[in-house]
Chains A and B, each alone.
Chain A
Amino acid sequence: MLLAEYRNKNLSRCFPRLGLASLLLCLISGAILSFHYRPMGNVFQNVEEITSVVPYGRFFRQLHYASGQLFVILMSLHTLDHFLRRRYRTFGPRQWSLLIISLALCFLALFTGFILKGDKEGLFAARIFMNILRTVPLVGNRLSNFFILPGDSLFFLPYLYHCIFLPPLIFYLLNAHTREWLPDASFLLVTTVGLFLFAIFIDPWMDIPPDAIVGLVKGPWFFLGIQCLLRFLPPFYAGLLVPGMVVLCIFLLPVAGKRLGKCLHYSILGVLILYALLTLKEFLFGP
């Protein structure tokens, strides 16, 4: 009942505006970082040099990391807010689908960014993603080659997606939905101050060298639930089929009838809560 009565209009107004402000900072800091980032050769060493040798490199890396994370978290909360208030009924199925696709692409951008760190976590995430894609029947190998190539150029395609393909595609998909691309001055100020303070005072998490031996390697926070599922289910089911079914159900929300819609709504809500619990379990206790 609490969820059904969820009516916090102020927060609903804040999420997208703060999100746009963080997107702006994310793009600026990303463009600055790209002057020194090289996706070939020893990527880990390159990232460490950016962080520790290049002037203000640590600041821009942290700013890019925090603004990207904040943008995707706020977009997820914005979508969740619409979902809880059943606003998907007011969207047409096409517009709703495009918005869900754009949110999925935001997560893909975050994931490619995680890979581009070039450390052990990024390297393993790339390999796991590649091997999960290979489990798709018939087209698996071709599909994985479309996103990641093994060997020396492992980071090249994620780099292309992260810097060149995904940002304009996300802009294009969000364009019909966004009233004004430039956020209000007050939101921009609050976001800038908050993210700058984070970038100045919070050190980057310790990057694990690719050849270091560690007992446990974790994926990005939003895939921890899938990492947990991968221990029990075959990769195709845990990595593609189950998440794909959930996304398909979300797509169907605006076109489902009243009864089916209600059923879908509560099923998705249940799956989201379960996924949050799985993520928390994986984060706190690991394997």
Chain B
Amino acid sequence: MQAKRVRINQDKGKKCMDRRAFLRNNLFRVLCSIGAAVLSYPILAFLTFRKPRDKRVIFHLLKDPQPILYKEGVFLVPIGRSHRALSARCTHLGCTLNYDPVSLKFRCPCHGSQFDISGKRIAGPAKRDLQVLPIDKKGKGELVVTLKL
């Protein structure tokens, strides 16, 4: 009877020691993991931060009516007396579009999306129309288009 009680106490003690040893051995690892998790947020936030930037593209217009113009990622499409600025980035995956003056369409050389001259999607894997960009009129036939990078 007494021997049995001693064994139970020994077992309890062993379990206690196991738990203590486990805690002691793993406390350092757990604290390190928590520390790494806490530190990883500012590290990731630092590494993945991007300052929002605008790019200004300036078009100098002549008095004569002009065809569709392209400059630094922007198409300038004449509509009557005014103009519409369209981003030349395909809305599928960002390749620069080519303008086809025969079919009057913008075509993507990467995956074949097509847009009409108003920027509306016609065919291909792109799902959205082209982005219409804001235009500021300056003096002497200067148009400033703001492009968000």
Contact of A127 among B44, B47, B53, B94 (CB under 8 A): B94
The winner among B47, B89, B110, B112 for most chain A CB atoms within 10 A is B110
Q: How far is the CA of A151 from the CA of B147 in the complex (A)?
A: 11
B75 to chain A, nearest CB (A): 12
Q: How far is the CB of B45 from chain A (nearest CB, A)?
A: 8
Q: Tell me, yes or no, whether A215 is within 8 Å of chain B by CB.
A: yes
Asked if A285 is an interface residue, CB under 8 A from chain B, the answer is no
Q: Number of contact residues on B: which range applies?
A: 20 to 34
Known contacts A127-B95, A128-B94, A215-B98; A227/B110 CB under 8 A = yes
Known: A124-B96, A142-B44, A235-B93. A216 touches B149 (CB 8 A): no
**Which residues of the partner chain A approach B50 to less than 8 Å between Cβ atoms?**
145, 149-150
Contact between chains at B109 and A142 (CB < 8 Å): no
- Pick the residue among A141, A142, A149, A230 that contacts B111 (CB under 8 A): A230
Q: A210's closest neighbor in chain B, by CB? A: B96
Tell me whether A253 is interfacial, beta carbon within 8 Å: no
**Contact A216 B93, beta carbon cutoff 8 Å:** no
A128 touches B110 (CB 8 A): yes
Instruction: Report A252-287 residues with CB < 8 Å from chain B CB.
Output: 287
Q: Which residues of A contact B107 (CB under 8 A)?
A: 215
Tell yes or no: A217 within 8 A of B by CB: yes
Binary contact readout A82-116 vs B (1 if CB under 8 angstroms, 0 otherwise): 00000000000000000000000000000000000
The chain A residue sitting closest to B99, CB to CB, is A213
What 0/1 readout, one digit per residue, does chain A (207-239) give for beta carbons within 8 Å of chain B? 000000111110000000001001110110000
Nearest B residue to A124 via CB reads: B95
Q: Are B93 and A127 in contact (CB under 8 A)?
A: yes
Q: Considering residues B50, B53, B93, which has the most beta carbons from chain A within 10 angstroms of its beta carbon?
A: B93
Q: Is the CB of A217 within 8 A of B110?
A: yes
Question: Does A146 count as interface, using CB distance less than 8 angstroms?
Answer: yes
Beta-carbon contact of B93 and A230 below 8 Å = yes
Contact with A along B38-51 (1 / 0, CB 8 A): 00000010011110
Does A130 lie at the interface of the complex (its beta carbon under 8 Å from any beta carbon of B)? yes
Shortest B98–chain A CB gap in Å is 5
CB distance from B14 to the nearest CB of A (A): 32
Q: How far is the CA of A16 from the CA of B55 in the complex (A)?
A: 48
Q: Which residues of B contact A217 (CB under 8 A)?
A: 95, 109-110
1/0 contact string of B47-67 vs chain A (CB within 8 Å) = 111100101000000000000
* CB neighbours of A149 from chain B (8 A): 50
Q: What distance in Å separates the Cβ of A106 from its nearest Cβ neighbour in chain B?
A: 23
Distance to closest chain B CB from A23 (angstroms): 28
Chain A residue with the shortest CB-CB distance to B94: A127
Residues in B neighbouring A127, C-beta threshold 8 A:
89, 93-95
Query: A142-B44, A150-B149 given as contacts; is B125 within 8 A of A231 (CB)?
Result: yes
Which residue of B has the minimal Cβ distance to A157? B47
Which B residues form the contact surface with A (CB < 8 A)?
A: 44, 47-50, 53, 55, 89, 92-96, 98, 107, 109-112, 124-125, 149
Chain A residues packing against B (C-beta within 8 Å):
124, 127-128, 130-132, 141-143, 145-146, 149-151, 213-217, 227, 230-232, 234-235, 287
Not counting A145-B50, A150-B50, A235-B93, a sample of 13 additional A-B residue pairs whose C-beta atoms are within 8 angstroms of each other reads A124-B94, A124-B109, A127-B94, A142-B44, A142-B48, A143-B48, A146-B44, A150-B149, A151-B149, A214-B109, A217-B95, A227-B111, A234-B125
Q: Which 3 A-B pairs have the closest CB atoms?
A: A127-B94, A145-B48, A142-B48
Q: Could you write out 14 A-B pairs with CB less than 8 Å apart? A: A127-B93, A127-B94, A128-B93, A128-B94, A128-B95, A142-B48, A146-B48, A149-B50, A150-B50, A213-B98, A227-B110, A234-B125, A235-B93, A287-B112
